Structure 1
Amino acid sequence: MSLAPLERPSARVATSLECDRVSFGDGRGICLQSDRGVFTTYRAVIFDRNFAKIGTLKLEGSPSRTRVSPDGRVGAVTVFLAGHGYNATGFSTRTSLIDMSTGEELGDLEQFTAWRDGARYTARDINLWGVTFGQNSNVFFATLGSQNKNYLVRGDLGLRKLTFVHNDVECPSLSPDEKSIVFKRRVAPRPDAWRLYVLDVKSMSDRPLDAESRYVDDQVEWLDNDHVLYAIQRPSSAASDVWVAPTDGSGPSRLFLSEASSPIVVR
């Protein structure tokens, strides 16, 4: 993991942590790690603003997504229990919420009650992933997958409740002002047919993010209220780069940081 000033992203400085994915909020962070060997193991390392480890959680599967709430109180970790990608048939996930002050789990999202159109949703094939928090860490959004469809749900941590609010949404990311959500949507049956969309939280109307027409398999990070950061893998390469795009259609995407992934803005 490296740090870089926003005004000069190329001036990066390495830290002591090695992460598959990372997130940070108000002095607390989560670093998802893989210890590869004959028997590969996975863990989530909780660290402070000085990148010192303050806790470790063993993970039951390969790391996928993580987010820390803006107030640094709650974290979320998604792992694959089966499969290694969201375009795989029969994949299975587990998403846990974490108390960032103690490192203890607050619960598996599948233990929350789900509500759709005022009625309990009781399908047994639910997967949940891609948590994004509001400024109040009690409120969050996530993707709920069930019966070959994906939905945006709004979560209430205190009530342990999930409410369906929109269709066809994956890996949402809520803007700092909580007015917009950028998410990815499959636009064709091909494995590489995910595109970014922008959702107005008040009206629940969405539109394509015009600045980026390429395949994106990432949960974006908001640079500010009008721009998002995301990683795109290079063709025929394992390397990826971080790009920035305006969400209002005012210009094209541009390269932000080469040879990087899992961008997080420290606010």
Structure 2
Amino acid sequence: MSALTARGRIVVASVSAVVLAAVAVGYIRFAAGRGSADPTVPTSAHGEPLDLRPGPRLLTVTDRHLATVPADDPTGERTISDVECVRAYAAAGTGVCLRPESQWAYRLVVLDERLRETRSFAIPGLPNRARVSASGRMVGWTTFVGGDSYNSGGFSTRTGILDTRTGTLVSSLEEFAVTRDGRSFRSVDANFWGVTFTRDDNAFYATMSAGGRRYLIQGDFAARTARTLKENVECPSLSPDGTRIAYKSAVDGDPTKGWRLSVLDLATMATTPLAETNSVDDQAAWLDDSTVAYTLRQADGRPDVWSVPADGAGTPRLLVPEAESPATLVPAG
């Protein structure tokens, strides 16, 4: 499939929340009914050894199973494990898998580098985002517990963080004390999503929505506090060098119009829209300090992983067909 053909089949982001829900449910059923990846996609057999050790590979979810592809040949043969996940991420030999238990029940599973479970617990709602800090210590996740799309007004999310070293668990960022413009802020309709961690394993960034407005927040895990930094920043992803955040920005500040993938310079707070002009409803993942990857869905609901330069130049490139939840296993420099 050519990149041009694939891009022509991508669903535009202005689809209503009802249609998005139908696509999401349809895809879950579609994937659940298939015993292996699409035969048109080069794969190796289920059960072939797959691990999360740092190396020149890209982790994805393929047909609801953890899979890896070579970093230098991401469209080539992939290794698919027997570990089933709806969303996943990994870093420094630690993986997080949001795993289905039944049609509407899910668990968060922490994996070691050999895909052995080290901890698991039930999570409410529909899995949506997952992240691991660069050191492998901190795990974050987001689920929809009401609604199923960020472009509707009635959604509700639950976002938690686990310190895998100490076992400390925060099941919801709603427990944190938030300040906005230097003043204490509380709102009954506050929602949080899309955690991304800094290298110190304490500070993090996420999105908070309240009163119809959406903010980038910076949090302090130990202090249980957070503060707003900038409006219209959703699903942040911190660059390996810690200087920029890739995120989705609602077009004209209105999520019903879709999102533009952009990069925020944390020193200047300047924003650079990226060359991807299709709506990206995903938490981008940095492949290195100059490239980000993200998921776009085709018209029939099947996902593809794309990449684009982080400086606003260049053109999007189809990276891994029929896959989602990208995470580089290449250790950060």
Q: Shorter-chain TM-score category?
A: over 0.9
Q: What is the rounded CA distance, in whole Å, between the counterparts of 1:149 and 1:264 in structure 2?
A: 29
The runs of at least 4 aligned residues of structure 1 exceeding 6 Å deviation read none
Asked if the contact 1:34/1:62 (under 8 Å) is kept, the reply is no
RMSD over aligned Cα, in angstroms?
A: 1.4
Query: Which of these residues, 83, 93, 99, is aligned with residue 27 of structure 1?
Result: 93
Tell me what 2:198 maps to. Answer: 134
Secondary structure of the corresponding residue to residue 212 of structure 1: coil
Query: Which of these residues, 75, 79, 101, is aligned with residue 13 of structure 1?
Result: 79
- The reply on whether 1:255 has 2:318 as its aligned counterpart is yes
Deviation at 1:16, TM superposition (A): 2.0
Matches for 1:97-246 after TM superposition, within 5 Å:
97-101=161-165, 105-188=169-252, 189=254, 191=256, 193-209=258-274, 211-234=275-298, 236-246=299-309
Q: What is the rounded CA distance, in whole Å, between the counterparts of 1:232 and 1:14 in structure 2?
A: 21
Deviation at 1:193, TM superposition (A): 1.5
Deviation at 1:192, TM superposition (A): 5.3
Query: Which of these residues, 114, 117, 125, is aligned with residue 53 of structure 1?
Result: 117
**Which letter maps to 1:18?**
E
**Which letter maps to 1:61?**
G
Tell me what 1:84 maps to. Answer: 148
Tell me which structure has the larger Cα radius of gyration.
2
Q: What is the rounded CA distance, in whole Å, between the counterparts of 1:120 and 1:78 in structure 2?
A: 24
**Structure 2: gaps (5+ residues):** 1-65
**Matched positions, count:** 263
Q: What is the rounded CA distance, in whole Å, between the counterparts of 1:192 and 1:103 in structure 2?
A: 40
Q: What is the rounded CA distance, in whole Å, between the counterparts of 2:122 and 2:152 in structure 1?
A: 24
Secondary structure of the corresponding residue to residue 191 of structure 1: helix
Q: Give the alignment's TM-score, normalised by structure 2.
A: 0.76
Higher helix share: 2
The one-character-per-residue Cα deviations of 1:153-204 (angstroms, maximum 9, x if unpaired) are 0011111110111111110111000111111011054735111111001111
Asked if the contact 1:46/1:103 (under 8 Å) is kept, the reply is no
Secondary structure of the corresponding residue to residue 33 of structure 1: strand
Asked if the contact 2:109/2:120 (under 8 Å) is kept, the reply is yes
Secondary structure of the corresponding residue to residue 94 of structure 1: strand
Asked if the contact 1:57/1:103 (under 8 Å) is kept, the reply is no
Q: Against the structure 1 CA distance between its residues 240 and 186, is the aligned structure 2 distance closer, same or farther, given a 3 Å change threshold?
A: same
Higher strand share: 1
Asked if the contact 2:251/2:257 (under 8 Å) is kept, the reply is no
Deviation at 1:3, TM superposition (A): 1.0
Q: What is the rounded CA distance, in whole Å, between the counterparts of 1:192 and 1:206 in structure 2?
A: 19
Secondary structure of the corresponding residue to residue 174 of structure 2: helix
Asked if the contact 2:207/2:216 (under 8 Å) is kept, the reply is yes
Q: Give the alignment's TM-score, normalised by structure 1.
A: 0.94
The one-character-per-residue Cα deviations of 1:95-139 (angstroms, maximum 9, x if unpaired) are 111122465523421111101121101222110000011111101
